Amino acid sequence: MLRNFIFWLSTKKSVTNALAERGMRYGFARRFVAGEALDDALAASKELNGQSRSVSLNHLGENVSTADEARKVAESYASMLRALDRDSLDGNISIKLTQLGLDFDVGLCRSLARDIAATAAGMGRSVEMDMEGAAYTEKTLRIFEAVQREFPATGLAVQAYLHRTADDLERLSALKPKLRLVKGAYREPPAVAVQKKSQVDDNYRKFIATLLDGRFFPAIATHDLAMLDHARAIIREQKISPDKYEFQMIYGIRRDLQAQVRGEGHALRIYVPFGTEWCPYFMRRLSERPANCLFVLRSLFAESGKSHTPATGS
Ligand code: FDA
């Protein structure tokens, strides 16, 4: 209920604008977002690399509506790759196809995605495609298949909650691709996705086993201890070597588990989001864990306490 309410709030401009105005200034947004500028994300990546974790940079923002905007985003993805390379950081980038024109020109989107993957491949790096709402799944898969055939290191997120995912895994297996298994972050109807957490978790467990069966390079992306334990048990039993899979977690979430997983010698990649359009992303993280709202509320109360004091430097 609270989860749905926060998710609904995330679609309200007045709320997101108010948060956006205060989030970075008062620090609470930095819990899940590295900052607004690429340099902030690079600084966070350097620190994470220092802890033996690789990164996947994600420039926040979603659907664009013109070809010019799509090309600008593609250029910004290319600059992220150049910056990772210049600073010799261990990382790749995650891209969202709706930022590259998926809504209005699939051909343009495919060609921009291809160019970004080519730039990455030229540096010995890779690109991972995020999976967005179910309306985009089929189109995303088709673009992924085209790009991955040319650039095999390209990865794709697959969502455990979708009914179609078991079939998609069979379809994709011929490519031997890198797949990032996530539970799924969007609100989807019962016709498209299972609704109960227990069902999502059952699917997730089943797909961990599928992804670890040798036909994929699996990236197990979760902070759920039960899912992590399931994956670690299979890895142990089947003696799967640490270069054949990785775990992925999100910047700022369950840092205790991040340290534990890395401490056990598993490869760990941290998804590092940054950018000025951080608010909808931030609200999604809040909706996943309403307890997170407490620290936002504390920050906002602290702010109203300060409202009698002249603001300094902003
Ligand atoms: P679950 O939601 O069951 O949470 C398990 C535990 O993790 C919680 O009990 C809590 O301890 C902790 N936790 C989870 N979320 C938290 C939060 N926001 N704050 C604090 N603690 C939290 N989705 C998608 O649809 N498309 C995509 O491309 C991606 N990409 C992606 C990349 C990476 C690296 C990750 C880790 C996740 C995604 N996701 C995603 C998001 C994913 O679908 C899912 O919404 C979140 O990972 C939360 O699910 P968990 O598997 O962590 O389990």
pLDDT, residue 305, reads: 44
What CA–CA distance (Å, rounded) separates 32 from 23? 11
Beta strand 178-182 pairing with 91-95: unpaired
Beta strand 155-159 pairing with 91-95: unpaired
Q: Which atom of ligand 1 is closest in space to residue 129's alpha carbon?
A: 28
Q: Is the C-beta atom of 289 inside 6 A of ligand 1?
A: yes
Ligand 1, atom 21: nearest CA belongs to which residue? 253
Q: Which tokens go with 303?
A: 């702010």
What CA–CA distance (Å, rounded) separates 169 from 164? 9
Q: Would you identify the CATH topology of the domain 41-301?
A: TIM Barrel (3.20.20)
The answer to whether 87 and 78 have CB atoms below 8 angstroms apart is no
What CA–CA distance (Å, rounded) separates 30 from 32? 5
Residue 136 has pLDDT above 70, yes or no: yes
Q: What is the pLDDT of residues 146-156, one digit of tens each?
A: 999 999 999 99
Q: What is the pLDDT of residues 65-97, one digit of tens each?
A: 999 999 999 999 999 999 999 999 999 999 999
Residue 312's pLDDT band, with cuts at 50, 70 and 90, is very low
Span from the CA of 107 to the centroid of ligand 1 (angstroms): 31
Chain centroid to CA 170: how far? 23
Q: Is the C-beta atom of 255 inside 6 A of ligand 1?
A: no
What CA–CA distance (Å, rounded) separates 268 from 21? 33
**pTM of the prediction?**
0.90
Which of the listed residues 62, 98, 182 should we mutate to test ligand 1's pocket, taking the one with most ligand atoms within 8 A of CB? 182
Count of helix runs (H) and strand runs (E) in the chain: 12, 8
Q: Which tokens go with 123?
A: 């540096």
Question: Count of CB atoms within 10 A of residue 221's CB?
Answer: 22
Q: Is the C-beta atom of 292 inside 6 A of ligand 1?
A: yes
In b/e form, how buried is each residue of 251-288, taking b as 16+ CB within 10 angstroms? bbbbeebbeebbeeebbbbbbbbbbebbbebbbebbbb
Which of the listed residues 57, 183, 200, 278 should we mutate to test ligand 1's pocket, taking the one with most ligand atoms within 8 A of CB? 183
pLDDT, residue 25, reads: 62
The answer to whether 146 and 112 have CB atoms below 8 angstroms apart is no
Q: Is the C-beta atom of 165 inside 6 A of ligand 1?
A: no
